[in-house]
Amino acid sequence: MCRTLTAFPTACLERAKEFKTRLGIFLHKSELGSDPASVGKFERGSKHSKEGRNFSEDVLGWRESFDLLLSSKNGVAAFHAFLKTEFSEENLEFWLACEEFKKIRSAAKLASRAQRIFEEFIISEAPKEVNIDHETRELTRTNLQAATATCFDVAQGKTRTLMEKDSYPRFLKSPAYQDLATQAVATSASPSSCSVAEPFHT
């Protein structure tokens, strides 16, 4: 995983540059396409999204708290794009999958989806294995024996804490976000900054 700018391989730097360029373009155009993947699903389901805020206000809100970032449709997509440059997007994808999982009402679907999430993110050597301790992994495995909407709560909580303490500060300090925030400050002071942004594709 890329931890510092100097440690980034060329491909990683190119992805970071693409993220920065893409967000800059989105800020000016405010014409953003929706993400059909899990991020998009979360956006539609989030009751906390600030639908009435324009893009500049939204961007500046991301640095206020991790909760505000996660409650923003554009914030989730931007953070996801950043995590891709660090090859750690599985953490957010797992968190989002858990949010969707909690909405399932059918017991049969709950059990089936729980198994898929476990195999995709939790089990050792999973395709998108998240960084959790052995005890949490085993607790989650036990919870799946009688799957409920809360069976991933401990693992989700630990993954969220990891993102908040580790990835989120780096996201805020990244050149991409710093430049975006600077542009947002300038744009929010402009009369043309009143349009409401739509979620963008990552």
* Burial (Cβ within 10 Å: 0-12, 13-18, ≥19) of residue 144: middle
Per-residue pLDDT band for 186 (boundaries 50, 70, 90) equals: confident
Fold observed for domain 90-161: Regulator of G-protein Signalling 4; domain 2 (1.10.167)
Residues shown for the chain: 202
Fold observed for domain 10-87+167-188: Regulator of G-protein Signalling 4; domain 1 (1.10.196)
What pLDDT, in 10s, does the model give residues 62-99? 999 999 999 999 999 999 999 999 999 999 999 999 99
| Residue range(s) of every CATH 1.10.196.10 domain in the chain | 10-87+167-188
What tokens does 125 get?
């050597």
| Residue range(s) of every CATH 1.10.167.10 domain in the chain | 90-161
Question: Rounded to an integer, what distance in angstroms lies between the CA atom of residue 105 and that of residue 114?
Answer: 13
What tokens does 184 get?
């947002």
What pLDDT, in 10s, does the model give residues 4-62? 444 445 554 555 455 556 565 544 433 333 333 333 333 333 334 344 468 888 999 99
pTM of the model: 0.71
